Structure 1
Amino acid sequence: MAMTGEQVETASNMLREGATYAQIGATLGLTRNVVIGKMRRLKLSHLTRNTPRRAATRPRKPSPPPRPPQSPTARLCEIPPCEPALPPPAPAPPGPRALVTLSELLPDSCRFGLGDPRTPEFRFCGARATRGPYCGVHAQICYEPAREKR
Protein backbone atom coordinates (compact mmCIF):
# COMPACT_ATOMS: atom_id res chain seq x y z
CA MET A 1 0.00 0.00 0.00
CA ALA A 2 1.34 3.40 -0.91
CA MET A 3 0.74 6.41 1.26
CA THR A 4 -0.17 9.66 -0.43
CA GLY A 5 1.55 12.94 0.42
CA GLU A 6 -1.45 14.01 2.48
CA GLN A 7 -1.39 10.76 4.45
CA VAL A 8 2.34 11.17 5.14
CA GLU A 9 1.77 14.71 6.36
CA THR A 10 -1.15 13.64 8.56
CA ALA A 11 0.84 10.72 9.94
CA SER A 12 3.88 12.86 10.79
CA ASN A 13 1.64 15.47 12.51
CA MET A 14 -0.13 12.77 14.53
CA LEU A 15 3.24 11.25 15.42
CA ARG A 16 4.46 14.62 16.72
CA GLU A 17 1.31 14.92 18.81
CA GLY A 18 2.04 11.57 20.44
CA ALA A 19 -0.36 9.25 18.63
CA THR A 20 0.64 5.60 18.38
CA TYR A 21 1.31 3.92 15.07
CA ALA A 22 -1.86 1.86 15.52
CA GLN A 23 -3.94 5.00 16.04
CA ILE A 24 -2.42 6.64 12.97
CA GLY A 25 -3.08 3.53 10.91
CA ALA A 26 -6.70 3.35 12.06
CA THR A 27 -7.24 7.01 11.22
CA LEU A 28 -5.74 6.65 7.74
CA GLY A 29 -7.25 3.26 7.01
CA LEU A 30 -3.83 1.57 6.90
CA THR A 31 -2.15 -1.08 8.98
CA ARG A 32 0.20 -0.22 11.79
CA ASN A 33 3.10 -1.88 9.94
CA VAL A 34 2.53 0.23 6.83
CA VAL A 35 2.74 3.39 8.94
CA ILE A 36 5.87 2.21 10.78
CA GLY A 37 7.59 1.25 7.53
CA LYS A 38 6.81 4.54 5.83
CA MET A 39 7.91 6.62 8.81
CA ARG A 40 11.18 4.74 9.04
CA ARG A 41 11.87 4.97 5.31
CA LEU A 42 11.30 8.72 5.48
CA LYS A 43 13.42 8.86 8.67
CA LEU A 44 10.52 10.38 10.58
CA SER A 45 10.37 7.75 13.33
CA HIS A 46 12.33 10.11 15.61
CA LEU A 47 9.16 12.19 15.95
CA THR A 48 7.64 9.72 18.40
CA ARG A 49 7.07 10.88 21.90
CA ASN A 50 9.82 9.99 24.29
CA THR A 51 7.82 8.56 27.16
CA PRO A 52 9.60 6.57 29.81
CA ARG A 53 8.87 2.90 29.87
CA ARG A 54 6.54 1.57 32.51
CA ALA A 55 8.25 0.78 35.76
CA ALA A 56 8.52 -2.88 36.59
CA THR A 57 5.81 -4.05 38.97
CA ARG A 58 8.22 -6.25 40.87
CA PRO A 59 11.90 -5.86 41.55
CA ARG A 60 14.26 -7.78 39.34
CA LYS A 61 16.01 -10.83 40.70
CA PRO A 62 19.74 -10.43 41.03
CA SER A 63 21.60 -12.30 38.37
CA PRO A 64 23.45 -15.41 39.52
CA PRO A 65 27.21 -15.07 39.94
CA PRO A 66 29.14 -16.08 36.84
CA ARG A 67 30.47 -19.60 36.73
CA PRO A 68 34.18 -20.15 36.47
CA PRO A 69 35.17 -21.15 32.94
CA GLN A 70 35.40 -24.87 32.36
CA SER A 71 36.97 -26.86 29.63
CA PRO A 72 34.49 -28.59 27.25
CA THR A 73 35.66 -32.02 28.39
CA ALA A 74 35.07 -31.19 32.07
CA ARG A 75 31.47 -30.38 31.28
CA LEU A 76 31.02 -33.65 29.42
CA CYS A 77 32.34 -35.54 32.43
CA GLU A 78 29.51 -34.13 34.57
CA ILE A 79 26.84 -35.65 32.36
CA PRO A 80 26.05 -39.18 33.50
CA PRO A 81 26.25 -41.76 30.74
CA CYS A 82 22.89 -42.97 29.50
CA GLU A 83 21.93 -46.63 29.46
CA PRO A 84 22.22 -48.22 26.03
CA ALA A 85 18.84 -49.09 24.53
CA LEU A 86 20.21 -52.17 22.79
CA PRO A 87 22.90 -54.51 23.99
CA PRO A 88 26.25 -53.66 22.48
CA PRO A 89 26.85 -55.52 19.24
CA ALA A 90 29.22 -58.43 19.19
CA PRO A 91 32.75 -57.57 18.15
CA ALA A 92 33.29 -57.67 14.43
CA PRO A 93 34.38 -61.06 13.19
CA PRO A 94 37.62 -61.00 11.32
CA GLY A 95 36.59 -59.83 7.87
CA PRO A 96 38.00 -60.81 4.54
CA ARG A 97 40.00 -57.57 4.51
CA ALA A 98 42.23 -55.79 6.93
CA LEU A 99 41.59 -52.16 7.84
CA VAL A 100 41.92 -49.88 4.79
CA THR A 101 42.72 -46.24 4.11
CA LEU A 102 40.47 -43.86 2.23
CA SER A 103 42.32 -44.40 -1.02
CA GLU A 104 41.95 -48.19 -0.67
CA LEU A 105 38.15 -48.15 -0.18
CA LEU A 106 36.14 -49.97 -2.85
CA PRO A 107 32.52 -49.17 -3.78
CA ASP A 108 31.26 -52.15 -1.75
CA SER A 109 33.53 -51.57 1.28
CA CYS A 110 32.28 -50.77 4.77
CA ARG A 111 32.89 -47.09 5.47
CA PHE A 112 32.83 -47.29 9.27
CA GLY A 113 35.73 -45.18 10.52
CA LEU A 114 38.03 -46.55 13.21
CA GLY A 115 40.33 -44.30 15.20
CA ASP A 116 40.85 -40.57 15.22
CA PRO A 117 40.34 -39.03 11.74
CA ARG A 118 42.99 -36.41 12.51
CA THR A 119 45.77 -38.97 12.79
CA PRO A 120 47.54 -40.93 10.05
CA GLU A 121 46.51 -44.21 11.74
CA PHE A 122 42.83 -43.61 10.91
CA ARG A 123 41.36 -46.49 8.90
CA PHE A 124 38.02 -47.82 7.65
CA CYS A 125 36.57 -51.27 8.32
CA GLY A 126 36.81 -52.33 4.68
CA ALA A 127 34.59 -55.45 5.04
CA ARG A 128 31.91 -56.05 2.42
CA ALA A 129 29.06 -53.57 2.89
CA THR A 130 25.69 -55.28 3.24
CA ARG A 131 23.40 -52.57 4.56
CA GLY A 132 23.99 -49.16 3.00
CA PRO A 133 27.58 -48.03 3.42
CA TYR A 134 28.25 -50.39 6.36
CA CYS A 135 28.81 -54.08 7.03
CA GLY A 136 26.22 -55.91 9.16
CA VAL A 137 28.04 -55.36 12.47
CA HIS A 138 28.62 -51.66 11.94
CA ALA A 139 25.10 -51.14 10.59
CA GLN A 140 23.80 -52.30 14.00
CA ILE A 141 25.92 -49.59 15.63
CA CYS A 142 25.01 -46.80 13.19
CA TYR A 143 21.30 -47.42 12.64
CA GLU A 144 18.67 -47.31 15.35
CA PRO A 145 15.59 -49.50 14.90
CA ALA A 146 12.37 -47.64 14.18
CA ARG A 147 10.27 -46.95 17.26
CA GLU A 148 6.68 -48.02 17.48
CA LYS A 149 4.07 -45.33 16.92
CA ARG A 150 1.92 -44.58 19.93
Structure 2
Amino acid sequence: MNWTDERVEKLKKLWSEGLSASQIAAQLGGVSRNAVIGKVHRLSLPGRAKAGGTTAATRPKQRPATSAPRAPNYAARVTTRTVTRPAGATVLKEEIEVDLVAEQDFSIRTDVVVPMSRRLELTQLTERTCKWPIGDPLKEEFHFCGNDSPEASPYCTFHARLAYQPSAERRRAR
Protein backbone atom coordinates (compact mmCIF):
# COMPACT_ATOMS: atom_id res chain seq x y z
CA MET A 1 0.00 0.00 0.00
CA ASN A 2 1.32 3.41 -0.96
CA TRP A 3 0.78 6.52 1.11
CA THR A 4 -0.56 8.98 -1.43
CA ASP A 5 -0.87 12.66 -0.64
CA GLU A 6 -4.65 12.34 -0.37
CA ARG A 7 -4.40 9.43 2.07
CA VAL A 8 -1.81 11.29 4.17
CA GLU A 9 -4.07 14.37 4.32
CA LYS A 10 -7.04 12.20 5.33
CA LEU A 11 -4.84 10.53 7.99
CA LYS A 12 -3.84 13.94 9.39
CA LYS A 13 -7.47 15.10 9.42
CA LEU A 14 -8.76 11.96 11.16
CA TRP A 15 -5.85 12.02 13.64
CA SER A 16 -6.57 15.65 14.57
CA GLU A 17 -10.24 14.74 15.10
CA GLY A 18 -9.15 12.29 17.76
CA LEU A 19 -9.90 8.98 16.05
CA SER A 20 -7.91 5.95 17.15
CA ALA A 21 -5.38 4.26 14.87
CA SER A 22 -7.78 1.32 14.42
CA GLN A 23 -10.62 3.62 13.41
CA ILE A 24 -8.38 5.50 10.97
CA ALA A 25 -7.17 2.22 9.43
CA ALA A 26 -10.76 1.10 8.93
CA GLN A 27 -11.71 4.38 7.21
CA LEU A 28 -8.64 4.44 4.98
CA GLY A 29 -9.00 0.76 4.04
CA GLY A 30 -6.17 -1.49 2.95
CA VAL A 31 -3.94 -0.42 5.81
CA SER A 32 -3.30 -1.87 9.27
CA ARG A 33 -3.48 -0.15 12.63
CA ASN A 34 0.30 -0.53 13.00
CA ALA A 35 0.86 1.08 9.60
CA VAL A 36 -1.21 4.07 10.74
CA ILE A 37 0.78 4.33 13.98
CA GLY A 38 4.06 4.13 12.05
CA LYS A 39 3.00 6.85 9.60
CA VAL A 40 1.82 9.11 12.45
CA HIS A 41 5.20 8.65 14.09
CA ARG A 42 7.12 9.36 10.88
CA LEU A 43 5.01 12.48 10.24
CA SER A 44 5.69 13.59 13.85
CA LEU A 45 2.04 14.35 14.38
CA PRO A 46 1.27 15.69 17.87
CA GLY A 47 0.08 13.17 20.43
CA ARG A 48 -3.41 13.26 21.80
CA ALA A 49 -4.45 13.43 25.46
CA LYS A 50 -5.22 10.05 26.96
CA ALA A 51 -8.78 9.37 28.04
CA GLY A 52 -9.39 10.06 31.71
CA GLY A 53 -7.72 13.44 32.04
CA THR A 54 -4.16 14.52 32.61
CA THR A 55 -1.58 12.62 34.58
CA ALA A 56 -1.07 15.63 36.82
CA ALA A 57 -4.55 15.15 38.24
CA THR A 58 -3.75 11.61 39.36
CA ARG A 59 -0.36 12.31 40.93
CA PRO A 60 -0.37 12.62 44.71
CA LYS A 61 0.62 16.00 46.08
CA GLN A 62 4.09 16.07 47.57
CA ARG A 63 4.37 17.02 51.21
CA PRO A 64 7.02 19.49 52.31
CA ALA A 65 10.08 17.94 53.89
CA THR A 66 10.21 17.94 57.68
CA SER A 67 13.33 18.72 59.66
CA ALA A 68 13.04 15.89 62.21
CA PRO A 69 13.04 12.23 61.21
CA ARG A 70 9.65 10.64 61.59
CA ALA A 71 8.60 7.04 61.85
CA PRO A 72 5.35 6.23 60.04
CA ASN A 73 2.22 6.01 62.14
CA TYR A 74 -0.85 5.63 59.96
CA ALA A 75 -4.61 5.83 60.31
CA ALA A 76 -6.80 4.61 57.46
CA ARG A 77 -10.20 5.79 56.24
CA VAL A 78 -12.30 4.76 53.27
CA THR A 79 -13.48 7.10 50.53
CA THR A 80 -15.00 6.72 47.04
CA ARG A 81 -13.21 7.83 43.87
CA THR A 82 -14.11 7.78 40.20
CA VAL A 83 -11.44 6.12 38.07
CA THR A 84 -11.12 5.23 34.42
CA ARG A 85 -9.90 1.89 33.14
CA PRO A 86 -9.49 0.49 29.64
CA ALA A 87 -11.71 -2.37 28.54
CA GLY A 88 -10.61 -3.20 25.02
CA ALA A 89 -10.93 -0.07 22.89
CA THR A 90 -13.34 1.53 25.36
CA VAL A 91 -12.49 3.49 28.50
CA LEU A 92 -14.87 2.83 31.37
CA LYS A 93 -15.50 5.07 34.36
CA GLU A 94 -16.36 3.44 37.65
CA GLU A 95 -16.49 4.36 41.30
CA ILE A 96 -14.28 2.40 43.65
CA GLU A 97 -13.64 2.49 47.38
CA VAL A 98 -10.12 3.54 48.28
CA ASP A 99 -8.42 3.22 51.64
CA LEU A 100 -6.82 6.60 52.28
CA VAL A 101 -3.90 6.60 54.64
CA ALA A 102 -3.14 9.69 56.67
CA GLU A 103 -0.05 10.11 58.77
CA GLN A 104 -0.61 10.88 62.43
CA ASP A 105 1.66 12.84 64.72
CA PHE A 106 3.60 11.04 67.42
CA SER A 107 6.36 11.75 69.89
CA ILE A 108 9.95 10.63 69.37
CA ARG A 109 11.52 8.65 72.19
CA THR A 110 14.75 10.13 73.43
CA ASP A 111 15.47 7.59 76.17
CA VAL A 112 16.82 4.86 73.85
CA VAL A 113 20.34 3.79 74.66
CA VAL A 114 22.36 2.11 71.92
CA PRO A 115 25.19 0.03 73.38
CA MET A 116 28.78 0.64 72.31
CA SER A 117 30.05 -2.03 69.95
CA ARG A 118 33.15 -4.04 70.86
CA ARG A 119 33.98 -4.19 67.11
CA LEU A 120 34.83 -7.90 66.95
CA GLU A 121 35.83 -9.76 63.80
CA LEU A 122 34.28 -13.09 62.81
CA THR A 123 37.18 -15.09 64.24
CA GLN A 124 36.81 -13.36 67.63
CA LEU A 125 33.15 -14.30 68.18
CA THR A 126 32.22 -16.87 70.84
CA GLU A 127 28.96 -18.43 72.00
CA ARG A 128 28.53 -15.62 74.53
CA THR A 129 29.11 -12.62 72.21
CA CYS A 130 26.57 -10.71 70.14
CA LYS A 131 26.73 -11.67 66.48
CA TRP A 132 24.87 -8.63 65.13
CA PRO A 133 26.65 -7.50 61.91
CA ILE A 134 27.49 -3.81 61.57
CA GLY A 135 28.40 -2.20 58.26
CA ASP A 136 29.03 -3.52 54.76
CA PRO A 137 30.69 -6.97 54.70
CA LEU A 138 32.73 -5.92 51.67
CA LYS A 139 34.29 -2.94 53.45
CA GLU A 140 37.32 -2.88 55.74
CA GLU A 141 35.38 -1.42 58.72
CA PHE A 142 32.82 -4.27 58.85
CA HIS A 143 32.52 -5.83 62.31
CA PHE A 144 30.15 -7.50 64.79
CA CYS A 145 28.65 -5.98 67.94
CA GLY A 146 30.46 -8.36 70.29
CA ASN A 147 28.66 -7.37 73.50
CA ASP A 148 27.63 -10.07 75.98
CA SER A 149 24.60 -12.08 74.92
CA PRO A 150 22.26 -14.20 77.04
CA GLU A 151 22.72 -17.96 76.81
CA ALA A 152 19.68 -18.60 74.60
CA SER A 153 20.31 -15.80 72.06
CA PRO A 154 22.96 -15.01 69.46
CA TYR A 155 22.38 -11.29 70.08
CA CYS A 156 22.79 -8.89 73.01
CA THR A 157 19.60 -7.62 74.67
CA PHE A 158 19.45 -4.49 72.47
CA HIS A 159 19.88 -6.31 69.15
CA ALA A 160 17.55 -9.15 70.23
CA ARG A 161 14.76 -6.56 70.56
CA LEU A 162 15.46 -5.45 66.99
CA ALA A 163 15.67 -8.99 65.61
CA TYR A 164 12.73 -10.58 67.42
CA GLN A 165 9.58 -8.46 67.25
CA PRO A 166 6.20 -9.79 68.37
CA SER A 167 3.97 -10.62 65.41
CA ALA A 168 1.37 -8.02 66.46
CA GLU A 169 3.96 -5.25 66.17
CA ARG A 170 5.04 -6.47 62.72
CA ARG A 171 1.42 -6.36 61.53
CA ARG A 172 0.97 -2.83 62.86
CA ALA A 173 4.12 -1.65 61.07
CA ARG A 174 2.80 -2.67 57.62
Would you say same fold, with TM above 0.5?
no
Q: Which has the higher strand share?
A: 2
> TM-score under structure 1 normalisation?
0.37
Q: Which has the higher helix share?
A: 1
